[in-house]
Chains A and B, each alone.
Chain A
């Protein structure tokens, strides 16, 4: 079947971004509407990916293949399976919200701001659908640039430091990944086809080295403890939209890398290194949970909460059972909605008071009751309340972990208490109580645009919590296939 849906998903936003850039920074209004149009178009072209996806098949679908650099056998090779297709959709959906969220808030260089997000959205779709390693690497690295620019141009006072830290941290890992890709190219007799690598036989020594090289790259992106310290800084300095994309999509790239590269290409090394990864994941859940508790800056708190939630994702992957892996994937999607919403909520307050310090707020519910309802709802989702999406993934991973090992399950389950403690304590201090100061007294409740953005996310969070069946149904065949790859030794 020849279809160009994936190409459209990648290039519609990128072309849109270029057109918006061409409009110039004078025509703000046009830039906003054109961006919105392209973001919606970008989302619309991804819908057939989901509706006509054949959940019974484990292989790649909507495959596109064209020669790109014949000398090195590099191809423009795209395709999605039940794992990646959901992230393409998530990405396209979040892009609409980010455009809406920046609508009136960004007044400086509107066209460039919107274009950066559109282009980044296209590049990220490229990452999720690339099946050629070089193509993947190009998208993977290129996606850093818009994010770097977003933080560096529209960020807070310390933005240059944060942008550099973000860039260098992630670049270091990427270089090691490049080495691994070249090694695999040579070892496979000159193929950059990721699917070929999935069946490539490898000795234990090279497997472990390749695993470590990938780990260095992906662990930074996830981020896993202890290479996580760039994330709170990046979030604090990034504008709201940047934080949303960073949390909702960018953090998923590393985790996706584990599923697409580490597990199937180096299954023996994955098993060998699993105790190490599980330990790091559990440290992320518990250690970061405690750290989140004492944060005074709301964005830092939610950033740490993200790291803790991503600990559940890496944990789920490396316990190698279906509950764990599917739970981790669900957790990734849910975290996209919930953390995105949390950052949007903080953005709503920041736009009005220009502070992210918890101590500058108190009693927000008295002046912004509608906003407070959303804030509490997303906070509950962040604490993993059943009937919200936040529960589903955590529950599945916890069940998988208890099955894997009682103590691992027990340690992971502490998030039930810690997650609720840091999230709801923040809500208590920010939203509840008497009006704390004149800033809070002068707050105005959310407007129609903000309401729309938060309501869309709330619907997504609720729908996924009440009926997660379609999401897991899509991924079963692919996850089974993945687990089969992991179970078979390549030695």
Chain B
């Protein structure tokens, strides 16, 4: 098979599966839907491996598929750029997607219970779910395979659409349809910046093709924006990065991601942890030839990333909903990746993207496995002691948590440590702050990861107590209407379709870190990533790197390791040794814990200022502008003037001949006067 055909098949197979499962759901039934979609993604995965092999052999591809549009000298194409960066993304996306597809068979097996009995919206919901996740896979693949900004934007928005569809999958739940609208709109705010960035590229580079634009990057770096006078390259990069802030949920556009947990757990793993949210990280890495030329943009990136990394991790420590802990942990990890981008450590960011995709998918799918066992209970305060009942889930979640905390020799250690070191070596303004924030984040990360494990799998079996609904926290999201069958539950391990993907994902969550040698320091990325000469952090690290074992040994004596361990130890102390302490601390640290529980008040502020403000402005313009000024004064006003003139004119039409004769005489007199006085 020709390589070009393979490239085409990779995105088209999932699209084909999505179409079949979506439009022929009744005809093919449940088994048909999951078979056809899984087959599609499986083929994509195998072909992606082939592409990886081909790319490793030194081959790359950059070419069009078809011309989408041509106007004003801009040729907009659908086309593929296959290089080493793309190949990593292809393998990660299709592998995690494949695992999630399989897992979904188990997770959605009883989805009919999630719908009101008389609702037709739940008809074939199982097939529809498979259709959506395959459609997502298609969109994500189009995004990472793109060789131009237009297709990038298409993939960007298409993954946003599927995310919207899936967060609101259970469309009868008020919280789900609130969350999906919020996610879409916050992402659109990011896309607004993204579009401005793309617009500036089109206007000044005269092309939307990556290769052409990157070829002109030096030229762009010397220009200023004509109207604003801003340095052009900085304006472009910050615009593009605002897009990344939306999609990759960076502060302050992070608010949509925690709410996205309203969606079924498989998509939390696939979309809101492993793949879609990393699109921003991928995009900035892809744009490294542009970002490298703007210190200001890099500085902005590193500060935003490190703020996200620390402050979102802090929220994770007060969450009691198991999925939300993982969600905030995802936000924090995305912050680490973003900080790496700001430190010009693109390869480290992509490396962490990859390891994170594996261990975070494990954590989410493991959380999902717990949720099934607990009959859709998500509150960790009603779990505990589950390790006896669910050994496989426990083991895999533990692996995920260790990796997430960044302890050696698990995958997260290598990638996180590289990021911290790269940030330490970075010189862009804000790097010092970023380094401090990331270090602090390591302690917090160790703490919340193990808190989750201890809270869920160790200690008292709290689910044996009758569920006390009055203690339900105010998240609102667990009002699923399916609490009816909550008796004391007898948890048991999930079926094979759930545990096998967990195991298959746990393996790279342990082992993928060992790829650090070739990926970071073996020149794997080659030309796919550009690093300016002045940013020598990665080069410096490469000199220091002497293999995996020395790195682990060195890691054992470094600060991050001890911080992570201290975090884990604190979690052990608070949740195993002295379980009564968290309550006391919470009571003592009233204000602080309220701030964290309120998530710094972003939701309230946005709801009040942006949502409320927009409605206020809208009503003001409508009532004040349209109704009072335009219709009231202008339209009806002119009607009134006409009426008034008519009323005056009517006075002359009395029907009395002598009045007409009198006006005639006056008229003649006026005309004669004018005629005689003409110049």
Residues of A within 8 A of B192 (CB): 413-414, 416-417
A188 sits at the interface (CB 8 A) = no
Residue contact B116 to A433, C-beta cutoff 8 Å: no
Flag whether A181 is at the interface (Cβ < 8 A). no
Question: Is B67 part of the contact surface with A, judged by Cβ < 8 Å?
Answer: yes
Are B116 and A366 touching (Cβ within 8 A)?
A: yes
Quick check: A323 and B199 within 8 Å, CB to CB?
no
Q: B residues within 8 A CB of A366?
A: 116, 118-121, 172
Interface residues of A in 251-296 (CB under 8 A from B): 287, 290-295
B630 within 8 A of A: yes
Looking at the complex, which one of B150, B226, B618 makes contact with A290 (CB distance below 8 Å)? B618
Partner pick for A323 among B72, B153, B614, CB 8 A cutoff:
B72
Least distance between A439 CB and chain B CB atoms (Å): 15
| Cβ contact within 8 Å between B73 and A322 | yes
Q: Across the interface, do B626 and A322 meet the contact criterion of CB distance under 8 Å?
A: no
Whether A290 and B614, one on each chain, are in contact in the complex, defined by CB atoms closer than 8 angstroms, is yes
Q: Give the residues in chain A near B74, CB-CB below 8 Å.
A: 323, 399
Stretch at the interface among A4-12, A82-90, A384-392: A384-392
Q: Which B residues between 63 and 81 are near A, CB-CB below 8 angstroms?
A: 66-74
Set of chain B residues within 8 Å of A431, measured between Cβ atoms: 171
Query: Which residues of chain A are within 8 angstroms of B203 by Cβ–Cβ distance?
Result: 399, 402-403
Q: Is the CB of A367 within 8 A of B120?
A: yes
**Which residues of the partner chain B approach A424 to less than 8 Å between Cβ atoms?**
181, 184-185
Kindly state the separation between the CA atoms of A387 and B70 in the bound complex, as whole angstroms: 16
One of B69, B171, B189 near A365 (C-beta < 8 A)? B171
Residues of B within 8 A of A473 (CB): 70
**A322 touches which of B71, B161, B630 (Cβ 8 Å):** B71
A469 touches B199 (CB 8 A): no
Contact: B71 with A472, CB < 8 Å? yes
CB distance from A380 to the nearest CB of B (A): 7
Residue numbers in A under 8 Å from B375 (CB-CB): none
In the assembled complex, A145 has its CB within 8 A of some CB on chain B:
no
The answer to whether B116 touches A400 (Cβ under 8 A) is no
Is B177 a contact partner of A293 (Cβ separation < 8 A)? no
B62 interface hit (Cβ, 8 Å): no
Measured between beta carbons, the chain B residues less than 8 angstroms from A407 are 227-228
Interface centre among A326, A365, A391, A414 (most CB of B within 10 A): A365
Partner of A369, one of B121, B178, B188, B200: B121
- Given A321-B72, A386-B154, A467-B68: A434 touches B116 (CB 8 Å cut-off): yes
B665 interfacial contact with A, CB 8 Å? no
List A contacts of B66 (CB < 8 A). 467, 469
- The answer to whether B225 touches A406, judged by C-beta atoms less than 8 angstroms apart, is yes
Contact A287 B185 (CB under 8 A): no
Chain B residues, Cβ within 8 Å of A380: 161
1/0 contact string of A402-413 vs chain B (CB within 8 Å): 110111011001
The DSSP consensus for interface residues of chain B is helix
Does A363 contact B69, Cβ atoms closer than 8 Å?
Answer: no
Decide if A23 is an interface residue (CB 8 Å cutoff).
no
Decide yes or no whether B664 CB sits under 8 A from chain A.
no
> Please, which residues of chain A bring their CB within 8 A of the CB of B626?
229, 291
**Set of chain A residues within 8 Å of B178, measured between Cβ atoms:** 428
Contacting residues, chain A, for B168 (C-beta < 8 A): 432
Q: Is B631 an interface residue (CB 8 A)?
A: yes
Are A416 and B153 in contact, CB atoms less than 8 angstroms apart? Answer: no
Give complex CA distance A467, B67 in Å. 8
In the assembled complex, the CB of A325 is this many whole angstroms from the nearest CB of chain B, namely 9
Determine the chain B residues whose CB is within 8 A of the CB of A293 once the complex forms.
Answer: 614-615, 618
Q: Give the chain A neighbours of B184 by CB distance below 8 A.
A: 420, 424
| A416 & B172 in contact (Cβ 8 Å cutoff) | no
Shortest CB–CB separation between residue A387 and chain B, in angstroms? 6
- Pair B634/A226 contact, Cβ less than 8 Å: yes
What B residues does A400 contact at CB under 8 A? 72
Name the residue on A nearest B153 (C-beta).
A386
B28 near A: Cβ within 8 Å? no
Instruction: Write the A351-391 contact mask toward B (1 if CB under 8 angstroms, else 0).
Output: 00000000000010111110010000000100001110001
* A433 near B614: Cβ-Cβ < 8 Å: no
Contact A469 B69, beta carbon cutoff 8 Å: yes
**B-side contacts of A395, CB under 8 Å:** 150, 153, 195
Contact B618 A416 (CB under 8 A): no
A122 CB within 8 Å of chain B: no
A359 to chain B, nearest CB (A): 15
Interchain CA distance A282-B191 in the complex, whole Å: 19
Assess whether A290 is in contact with B116, with CB atoms less than 8 Å apart.
no
Query: Inside 8 A of B59's CB, which chain A residues have their CB?
Result: none
Q: In the complex, are the beta carbons of B68 and A469 less than 8 A apart?
A: yes
Per-position contact with A for B44-74: 1 when CB-CB < 8 Å, else 0? 0000000000000000000000111111111
Residues of chain A at interface, number, CB under 8 A: 64
User: Are A294 and B622 in contact (CB-based, < 8 A)?
Assistant: yes
Q: Does A435 contact B (CB under 8 A)?
A: yes
The distance in angstroms between the C-alpha atoms of A287 and B629, with both chains bound, is 14
Is B123 among interface residues, defined by CB-CB distance under 8 A? yes
- Let me know if B72 and A417 touch, CB within 8 A: no
Chain B nearest CB, measured from A113 CB (Å) = 29
Partner of A386, one of B72, B158, B617: B158
* Closest chain B residue to A165, Cβ basis: B635
Nearest residue (CB) in B for A293 is: B618
Given contacts A326-B72, A467-B68, contact A229 B635 (CB under 8 A): yes
Question: Could you tell me the distance between the alpha carbons of A128 and B616 in the complex, rounded to whole angstroms?
Answer: 41
Tell whether, in the assembled complex, residue A410 and residue B69 are in contact, meaning their CB atoms are under 8 Å apart: no
Q: Is A421 an interface residue (CB 8 A)?
A: yes
Complex Cα gap A3–B67 (Å): 33
Of B172, B622, B635, most buried by chain A (CB within 10 Å of CB) is B622
Complex formed: what's the CA distance from A395 to B154 in Å? Answer: 11
Does the CB pair A323–B71 fall under 8 Å? yes
Chain A residues within 8 Å of B72, by CB: 321-324, 326, 396, 399-400
Q: Using CB atoms, name the residue of chain B closest to A419.
A: B188
Taking the complex as formed, is A451 at the interface, i.e. its CB lies under 8 A from any CB of chain B? no
Taking the complex as formed, is B157 at the interface, i.e. its CB lies under 8 A from any CB of chain A?
A: yes
Q: Would you call A131 an interface residue if the criterion is a C-beta within 8 Å of the partner chain's C-beta atoms?
A: no
A92 proximal to B (CB < 8 A)? no
A399 with B199, Cβ < 8 A, contacts A323-B74, A365-B171, A421-B614 known: yes
Q: Is A468 an interface residue (CB 8 A)?
A: yes
Asked if A372 contacts B121 (CB within 8 A), the reply is yes
- Does A425 touch B at the CB level, under 8 Å? yes
Residues of B within 8 A of A441 (CB): 118
A327 touches B71 (CB 8 A): yes
The proximity string for A residues 89-108 relative to B, scoring 1 for CB distances below 8 Å and 0 otherwise, is: 00000000000000000000
Are B70 and A428 within 8 A (Cβ)?
no
Q: Which residues of A contact B625 (CB under 8 A)?
A: 287, 291
Return the contact of B157 from the options A295, A365, A386, A401 (Cβ within 8 A): A386
**Closest chain B residue, CB of each to CB of A295:** B622
Bound Cα distance A472, B69 (Å):
7
- Report the minimum CB–CB distance from B364 to chain A (whole Å): 25
Nearest CB of chain A from residue B204's CB, rounded to whole Å: 9
Whether A387 and B154, one on each chain, are in contact in the complex, defined by CB atoms closer than 8 angstroms, is: yes
B202 contacts the other chain (CB 8 A): yes
The CB with the most chain A CB atoms within 10 A, among B73, B189, B191, B618, is that of B618
Q: Bound complex: CA of A18 vs CA of B107, how far in Å?
A: 62
List the 10 closest A-B pairs by CB distance, nearest first. A402-B199, A322-B72, A323-B72, A294-B618, A403-B203, A290-B618, A366-B119, A386-B154, A293-B618, A432-B177
Q: Can you name 5 A-B residue pairings with CB atoms under 8 Å? A: A293-B614, A403-B199, A435-B119, A472-B71, A473-B70
> Interface on A for B, CB 8 Å cutoff?
165, 226, 229, 287, 290-295, 321-324, 326-327, 363, 365-369, 372, 380, 385-387, 391-392, 395-396, 398-403, 405-407, 409-410, 413-414, 416-417, 420-421, 424-425, 428, 431-435, 441, 445, 467-469, 472-473, 476
List 12 additional contacts besides A287-B621, A401-B199, A417-B189; criterion CB under 8 Å: A229-B635, A366-B120, A366-B172, A372-B121, A398-B195, A400-B72, A402-B202, A406-B226, A407-B227, A420-B185, A432-B177, A468-B69
